[in-house]
Amino acid sequence: MARILITSAIPYINGIKHLGNLVGSQLPSDVYARFNRALGNEVMFICATDEHGTPAELAAAKAGKPVADFCAEMHAVQADIAKGFRLSFDHFGRSSSQRNHTLTQHFAGKLAEAGLIREVSEKQVYSNADGRYLPDRYIEGTCPNCGYDAARGDQCENCTKQLDPTDLLEPRSAISGSTDLEVRETKHLYLCQSQLRDKLDAWIDSKTDWPILTTSIAKKWLHDGDGLQDRGITRDLDWGIPVKKGAEEWPGMEGKVFYVWFDAPIEYIAATAEWADAHGYDDSKWERWWRTDKGAADVKYVQFMGKDNVPFHTLSFPSTIMGSNEPWKLVDFIKSFNYLNYDGGQFSTSKGRGVFMNEALEILPSDYWRWWLLSHVPESSDSEFTWDSFQQGVNKDLADVLGNFVSRITKFCRAKFGEEVPAGGDYGAAEQAVINEISTRLAAYEGHMQAIEIRKAAAELRAIWAAGNEYLQAAAPWTTFKTDPEAAATTVRFALNLIPFYAVLSEPFIPDAAATMLAAMNATGTAWPTDVATALGTLKAGDSFTVPDVMFAKITDDARDEMQARFAGRS
């Protein structure tokens, strides 16, 4: 069996994420993980919270809590919501873990040994009132170009001109508003990515099957202007991983921490180690996923992320891995996504616009969200969430096509034959035709899943569901029952067999409904089908079942309108 290592981009700690974040990484990675497990492949599915950096410190301060406490609480909240969405991580780690401290410092040491770290002395803005250095975007002032009075230190939002913080007129702290700012000289470490440019370029060139979104962003960074630039990997902050060279102090770097974008991807590895720790396993258990010299040579490593994360996963993290000169596992496939917009605009945390993960679960079960989001996942371009589309998609696909199919056949059987599978005769031409059609569609479905074409997979799955309704309509057991109960029984037996079959195929998308279907048919543990004809003969005459409750209640127009109003935002 194949071994698949899957990581989802790690969500930032400073708040609850919205549906756009969910659909851009965690949800599709979960589908892929579940699919591979269903096939019998060995899967390690890793996610974590990304906990370091200025925004975390500020969010904690705003909440009036020590940053470590704040992060611990938010991690628990995010972990709970992840469970609510049935995200099947083998481990949901924390980038602030001791494992990540050790590993990040280890990588920095190895990179230094390889001559890929250089010290750079630079000028940074320090705010006396805030007692901290300010990242460019946390400095506000008047734009020298257009006069906009709330321009940020990195760019003026009004005229889009790119700025340096020292360009701003009357600069002030965006945190406190203080104008008591000074420029200080400070020393930082830079990762010499530029030295690895040709190697990275050749590596990206070899990935001909990657999404164009992934490779084009990587290429842009590799070749734009002077090419790939070295990148600062340390910051003057309190909250983070202390800068060390392996286990040793790093002279001149006292009091500094690594930049979040340096330690965040390393957390993929560290989280796998956390997984081993949590289960009481020794290091060999996680190393066989990450060290090609310790069993990871046959691992296929797939990363999922939104397009904003692509540069770090195609260039920075691979620089860390390659530059270490140690046999760490490099990514084999990077699946990247565009953005999901909300009802004609962007999701906005600050404006309270759009649906956040905790709110979504308060409104409707996770399967509803999973199905709609996954069948509209922004693979080729940005896509848009509207309540109308959500209502239509969910009602039609889940309630009418799938849910009602289960309902109509189980209730019909109960009424005519009781709650057990009727005997009838052998399957005939009608059943064989369905088997043939579904066999073709199943192959297509599996192909799309292997290729991580989520939308196409969802469409194929839906077509497989619809085949059940088409069959029933043509076979019309309610008619044949009057003259030929034996024929009706055959039809019903076949149709009932479609339920556990559908459950298994649907599980990656809608795990709760799949479990309900299997439980109703007393078929828990049904395996992924290798042969459709065999699979559709699993339930035998006399096997008992129960009629499940309505699996998907429809979203009414009133409910839709209410939700639309509730989440329209404050502005």
Partner RNA sequence: GGGCCUGUAGCUCAGUUGGUUAGAGCAGAGCGCUCAUAACGCUUUGGUCGCAGGUUCGAGUCCUGCCGGGCCUACCA
Residues 398-457 that bind RNA (CB under 7 A): 398-404, 406-409, 411-412, 415, 455-456
3-state secondary structure of 326: coil
Least distance between RNA and beta carbon 325 (Å):
22
Least distance between RNA and beta carbon 293 (Å):
30
Comparison of 39 and 58: residue with beta carbon closer to RNA = 58
Comparison of 284 and 450: residue with beta carbon closer to RNA = 450
**Does 508 participate in binding RNA (rule CB under 7 A)?**
no
Question: Which of residues 32, 250, 259, 545 is near RNA by CB under 7 A?
Answer: 259
**Does 331 participate in binding RNA (rule CB under 7 A)?**
no
Positions in 195-234 near RNA (CB under 7 A): 212-213, 216-217, 220-221, 224-225, 227-229, 231-232
Residues touching RNA, count (CB under 7 A): 85
Comparison of 288 and 410: residue with beta carbon closer to RNA = 410
Question: Which of residues 166, 380, 524, 534 is near RNA by CB under 7 A?
Answer: 380
Contact 184, 123 (CB under 8 A): yes
- Looking only at the bridges linking them, the beta strands covering 299-306 and 257-258 are unpaired
Comparison of 276 and 457: residue with beta carbon closer to RNA = 457
**Does 365 participate in binding RNA (rule CB under 7 A)?**
no
Give CA–CA dist 34/409, Å, rounded.
28
Comparison of 257 and 331: residue with beta carbon closer to RNA = 257
Q: Which stretch binds RNA (CB under 7 A): 293-301, 355-363, 388-396, 522-530?
A: 388-396
String of contacts with RNA for each residue 538-557, x by CB under 7 A:
------------xxxxx---
String of contacts with RNA for each residue 261-290, x by CB under 7 A:
x--x--------------------------
**Does 389 participate in binding RNA (rule CB under 7 A)?**
yes
Positions in 89-128 near RNA (CB under 7 A): 122, 124
Comparison of 162 and 206: residue with beta carbon closer to RNA = 162
**Cα separation of the two ends of the chain:** 53
Give CA–CA dist 425/491, Å, rounded.
9
Residues near 94 by beta carbon (within 8 Å), at least 6 away in sequence: 48, 49, 51, 71, 75, 100, 267, 271, 274
- DSSP label of 211: -
**Does 136 participate in binding RNA (rule CB under 7 A)?**
yes
**Does 321 participate in binding RNA (rule CB under 7 A)?**
no
Comparison of 137 and 279: residue with beta carbon closer to RNA = 137
> 3-state secondary structure string, 329-393?
CCCCEEEEECCEEECCECCECCCCECCEHHHHHHHCCHHHHHHHHHHCCCCCCCEEECHHHHHHH
Positions in 31-60 near RNA (CB under 7 A): 50, 52-55
Q: Which stretch binds RNA (CB under 7 A): 250-258, 321-329, 380-388, 557-565?
A: 380-388
CA–chain centroid gap for 241, Å, is 25
Give CA–CA dist 143/157, Å, rounded.
9
Least distance between RNA and beta carbon 276 (Å):
25
Positions in 141-170 near RNA (CB under 7 A): 153-155, 160, 162
Question: Which of residues 317, 339, 385, 445 is near RNA by CB under 7 A?
Answer: 339
Give CA–CA dist 201/348, Å, rounded.
36
Residues near 135 by beta carbon (within 8 Å), at least 6 away in sequence: 54, 153
**Does 381 participate in binding RNA (rule CB under 7 A)?**
yes
Q: Which of these, 550, 457, 522, 519, lies nearest to 34 by C-alpha position?
A: 457
Give CA–CA dist 384/344, Å, rounded.
7
Neighbours of 502 (CB within 10 A): 23
Q: Which of these, 312, 379, 313, 367, lies nearest to 512 by C-alpha position?
A: 367
Comparison of 246 and 365: residue with beta carbon closer to RNA = 365
> Token pair of 365, please?
């079960």
